Structures are given as C-alpha cells and as structure tokens.
Amino acid sequence: MTHPEPRTLIFDWDNTLVDTWEAIHHALSVTFQAMGMQPWTLEETRARVRRSAREAFPEIFGARSEAATGIFYETFARDHLDLLRAAPGAADMLEALAEAGYDLAVVSNKTGGFLRREAEELGWDRHFRQIVGATDAARDKPAPDAVLLALSGSPVSPASGPEVWFIGDTDIDLTCAHNSGCYPVLLRAEPPRAGEFDAAPPALHLDSCRALAELLIKSH
C-alpha cells in the first residue's frame, strides 16, 4: 500500500479513538424528553450525530436550543467518564505512534472541556500536542478552523498537505480533511459504501487502530 509519509496525525475522538455513544445517547434522550420530543434510538443517534451541539441544536430544538444545550451538557457531565471506553487497540496505537516520533493532535466536535477530561482519564493527554474541541475555535468541524488551531505550534504548516493526516470515521471528518487540505483517512471496520463519500472521498481506508499503527510504524 503506497501512501505519503505523514509528520502530523490529527485524530477525531468519538468512535475513532473512544466509544462514548452510550453517554451521548443517554444525554440526548434526557434532553429530548425534557423538550417533550420523541428520543432517537441508539441507531439513530449513531447515524445523526456528526456536528457539535453549537451547530446542530438550533436546527433540532429551535428557539429552545439554549435550554436543550444546558440539559444535554449537565446530563453528559454527570455520566461520560463512567461510560468512557477506549476503542480496540487505540491505547497501544497511540503509544507506538508517539514513541515513533509522530506529532499527534485531536480535533473533535465534543466540547473541549469534556474532550480534554476524557483524554486525561485515559492517560492519553501526554501523547497529544493539541486537543481541540467544539467551541475552542471560531468554527467547528467540518470548517478548517479547528484544524488550523490544532496545527499551531506544530512542525508542519497548514499548507503541508499530505504531511498532515486527518483520521476519522464519518463524512464530517473527511469533509474537514478536504476543507483544511489534509490527507483524508477513514478509520473504521466497515469499508466505504458506494456513493457514501462522493463529496469528500477518503484517500485511504484502514479497518482498525492496529492496522494504522502497523502501516505507519512499518514505513517510519
């Protein structure tokens, strides 16, 4: 498999490095119920949650988005660390990549405070030069602002192209990679479906954290 050699690896967080769907789904269910709305199923939550609450809630809850945001974050703050689970192979992958000298960062649409607390809980904050969450930059993914913030102080410039890999599991991640000029990498067990990423195709698909580590450590 041929690929450009990266210097910086920017990772999505939820469903890429960790599994927090249970916490997200529970907080959304509580919020929908408080707003008098029918909660989504877990499958609907997995399919629909892409953008940050700052961007998505006004469309979902309209004039009540501020109240809904408060309920969601209060619920999430209470439970998210108890329900936090590392993705299979993620801990070993990050350790190996850091030891190999890769510059590592996170860009997520999870609120920055929660994101950094989860990284600390897992002991992974030591691996990342920057951990950027929703509301840390002027705009959230898929806008390039958060990537530009994550690259501040990095050994590469925002225009370094293939030297910066953006690694995630959703269309929002790949769109963000394209918008910010990064090399777009899809990291998930399922291969891309026909037409799924026509607007922002991945340059590379890997089915596990272990596969990513093996690819990069072997070629480094």
Instruction: Please tell me whether residues 55 and 89 are part of one structural domain.
Output: no
Instruction: Please tell me whether residues 38 and 119 are part of one structural domain.
Output: no
Domain for residue 129, yes or no? yes
pLDDT of residue 52: 78
Q: Sorting pLDDT into bands at 50, 70 and 90, what band is 10?
A: very high
Provide the number of structural domains found in the chain.
Answer: 2
Is the pLDDT higher at 114 or at 158?
114
Instruction: Please tell me whether residues 75 and 92 are part of one structural domain.
Output: no
Is the pLDDT higher at 101 or at 52?
101
- What range does the domain containing 32 cover? 21-79
Q: Sorting pLDDT into bands at 50, 70 and 90, what band is 220?
A: low
Domain for residue 158, yes or no? yes
pLDDT of residue 31: 96
In the predicted model, what is the mean pLDDT of residues 173-184? 96
Instruction: Please tell me whether residues 195 and 153 are part of one structural domain.
Output: yes
Domain for residue 202, yes or no? yes
Domain for residue 3, yes or no? no
Instruction: Please tell me whether residues 73 and 91 are part of one structural domain.
Output: no
When the pLDDT of each residue in the chain is averaged and rounded to a whole number, the result is 92
Domain for residue 98, yes or no? yes
pLDDT > 60? residue 1 = no
> What CATH number should be reported for the domain holding residue 130?
3.40.50.1000
pLDDT > 80? residue 157 = no
> What CATH number should be reported for the domain holding residue 56?
1.10.150
Instruction: Please tell me whether residues 135 and 63 are part of one structural domain.
Output: no
Instruction: Please tell me whether residues 197 and 99 are part of one structural domain.
Output: yes
pTM for the model stands at: 0.85
Domain final residue, candidates 42, 57, 79: 79
pLDDT > 70? residue 159 = no
Q: Sorting pLDDT into bands at 50, 70 and 90, what band is 79?
A: confident
In the predicted model, what is the mean pLDDT of residues 214-218? 91
Domain final residue, candidates 79, 110, 127: 79
Domain for residue 1, yes or no? no
**HEC sequence for the chain:** CCCCCCCEEEECCECCCEECHHHHHHHHHHHHHHCCCCCCCHHHHHHHCCCCHHHHHHHHHHHHHHHHHHHHHHHHHHHCCCCCEECCCHHHHHHHHHHCCCEEEEEEEEEHHHHHHHHHHHCCHHHCCEEEEECCCCCCCCCCHHHHHHCCCCCCCCCCHHHEEEEECCHHHHHHHHHCCCEEEEECCCCCCCCCCCCCCCCEEECCHHHHHHHHHHHC
Instruction: Please tell me whether residues 73 and 172 are part of one structural domain.
Output: no
pLDDT > 90? residue 187 = yes
* Tens of pLDDT, residues 90-145: 999 999 999 999 999 999 999 899 999 999 999 999 999 999 999 999 999 999 99
